[in-house]
């Protein structure tokens, strides 16, 4: 295809088109688009997990963006058992006597947290350990009973999970970029206006989208990217990624080896968007400095919560609710204090069970809070932001010595 057919697309142009149906959520919608676009690479796909309370738009963002992609490349999956999933995506090969599931260049969107056993089966696939994975499942047939079924999974899909459950197994968390939809007042207001337009006259709304020239041009661009069958995306200046990543992460952790892979995948997805304007060698293109700069900018906006293996919703709750509440009171917080502060900030209730069972254990596990018994009432626990508590304790200890 001629280079002149598709002009270079800036991020602002892309965000403006995505913003036709997805209000606010600048970072979430861009990274979700790039995740789905990454499906058209050979091995640079990355995965996303949307984790946030119900009614915040977790599934809306990936589903709206998926509507831009060819239908045959998108698999939308509700709850299913591990065996049902593999039966659905595989085709039996009589010669080899195995079932083959070719998931290369596919987009998988799970609208609910998958079955635990299915997640275990998918771990090597999500980690890109091998391009061809053999698994065994049990298959029940009438008159035969249970028997083992061999399935070979080929290729790497781009995978998106949507879950209202906030707790994640660490093995899953390290395989995903963790995202949470924005829940600010302006976004909700704009979403209500959009809902009114859509629901009061759906045909007119649908027609306005179909006739939007920028949206249609983006759909054509996606099809053209798919047809190019790019096999490899190289990095033109890998030292720039190395310097920026090591500058931000002075103390390295095991998960950083996966984080750098996600950052590189972002760089490659940016390059793929404008592949006709990148240096090319056959079916390979080379990501340039602009791709690196853009990827680093968006990585910086989500990297802090990724560092703690926390969905942004949980990390933001810590920064915007727990830390200010403690700073104002200068005393340990009860769960009731946090719930009241949460309502003051977000103007919506926070269930006590969710705070107790999911949010506080996650924050405590990564070392952001400390829970200690209340000396005046040992039936309840007091919550402290860990860094502030350590500073207070060291100050008290020093003054005692003096």
CB-count exposure of residue 217 (10 Å: 0-12, 13-18, 19+): middle
Among candidate residues 67, 61, 64, the one with its CA nearest the CA of residue 49: 61
Among candidate residues 299, 282, 372, the one with its CA nearest the CA of residue 334: 372
Query: What CA–CA distance (Å, rounded) separates 226 from 291?
Result: 19
Span 322-360, pLDDT tens digits: 999 998 877 899 999 999 999 999 888 999 999 999 999
- Among 188-202, 213-227, 259-273, the minimum mean pLDDT is found in 188-202
User: Encoding tokens for residue 249?
Assistant: 């992460």
CB-count exposure of residue 52 (10 Å: 0-12, 13-18, 19+): buried
- Among 184-188, 201-205, 335-339, 363-367, the minimum mean pLDDT is found in 184-188
- 26 contact partners, CB below 8 Å, separation of at least 6: 15
Q: 93 near 143, Cβ under 8 Å?
A: no
Domain limits of the chain?
A: 3-128+156-307, 312-401
pLDDT at 50: 92
Strand order in the sheet with 132-141: 91-93, 98-102, 145-154, 132-141
User: Encoding tokens for residue 237?
Assistant: 């200046």
Give all strands (DSSP E) within 39-155, no chain letters. 48-51, 74-77, 91-93, 98-102, 107-110, 132-141, 145-154
Domain 312-401, architecture per CATH:
Orthogonal Bundle (1.10)
Query: What CA–CA distance (Å, rounded) separates 354 from 344?
Result: 18
Helix (H, G, I), strand (E, B) or coil at 282: coil
pLDDT at 2: 47
Number of residues in the chain: 402
User: Encoding tokens for residue 391?
Assistant: 């500073």
Q: 111 near 78, Cβ under 8 Å?
A: yes
77-100 mean pLDDT? 82
Span 196-221, pLDDT tens digits: 988 999 999 999 999 999 999 999 99
> What pTM was computed for the model?
0.88
Give the C-alpha distances (Å, rounded to integers) separating 255 from 173, 176, 246, 295: 10, 11, 14, 19
CATH of 3-128+156-307, one of 3.90.550.10, 3.40.50.300, 1.10.443.10, 3.30.420.40: 3.40.50.300
pLDDT-derived band at 127, boundaries 50, 70, 90: confident
Among candidate residues 101, 135, 138, 100, the one with its CA nearest the CA of residue 121: 135
């Amino acid at each position: 295809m001629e280079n002149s057919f598709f002009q270079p697309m800036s991020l602002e142009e892309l965000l403006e088109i995505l913003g036709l149906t997805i209000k606010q959520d600048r970072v979430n919608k861009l990274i979700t688009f790039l995740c789905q676009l990454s499906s058209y690479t050979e091995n640079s796909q990355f995965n996303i997990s949307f984790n946030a309370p119900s009614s915040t738009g977790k599934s809306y963002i990936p589903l709206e963006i998926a509507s831009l992609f060819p239908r045959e490349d998108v698999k939308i999956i509700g709850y299913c058992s591990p065996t049902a999933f593999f039966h659905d995506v595989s085709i039996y090969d009589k010669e080899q006597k195995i079932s083959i599931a070719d998931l290369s260049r596919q987009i998988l969107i799970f609208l609910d947290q998958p079955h635990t056993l299915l997640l275990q089966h998918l771990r090597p696939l999500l980690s890109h350990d091998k391009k061809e994975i053999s698994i065994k499942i049990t298959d029940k047939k009438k008159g035969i009973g249970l028997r083992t079924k061999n399935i070979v999974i080929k290729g790497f899909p781009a995978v998106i999970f949507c879950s209202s459950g906030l707790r994640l197994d660490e093995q899953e968390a390290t395989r995903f970029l963790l995202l949470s939809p924005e829940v600010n007042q302006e976004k909700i207001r704009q979403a209500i206006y959009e809902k009114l337009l859509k629901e009061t006259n759906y045909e007119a709304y649908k027609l306005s989208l179909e006739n939007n020239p920028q949206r249609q041009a983006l759909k054509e661009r996606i099809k053209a990217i798919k047809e190019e069958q790019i096999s490899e995306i190289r990095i033109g200046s890998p030292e720039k990624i190395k310097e920026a990543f090591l500058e931000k992460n002075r103390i390295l952790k095991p998960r950083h080896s996966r984080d750098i892979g996600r950052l590189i995948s972002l760089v490659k997805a940016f390059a793929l968007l404008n592949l006709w304007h990148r240096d090319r060698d056959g079916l390979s293109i080379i990501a340039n400095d602009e791709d690196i700069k853009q990827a680093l900018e968006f990585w910086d906006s989500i990297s802090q919560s990724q560092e703690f293996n926390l969905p942004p919703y949980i990390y933001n709750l810590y920064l915007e609710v727990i830390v200010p509440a403690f700073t104002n009171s200068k005393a340990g917080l009860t769960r009731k204090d946090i719930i009241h502060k949460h309502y003051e900030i977000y103007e919506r209730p926070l269930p006590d069970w969710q705070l107790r069972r999911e949010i506080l254990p996650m924050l405590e596990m990564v070392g952001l809070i400390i829970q200690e018994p209340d000396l005046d009432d040992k039936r309840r626990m007091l919550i402290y932001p860990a860094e502030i508590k350590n500073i207070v304790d060291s100050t008290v200890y020093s003054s005692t010595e003096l």
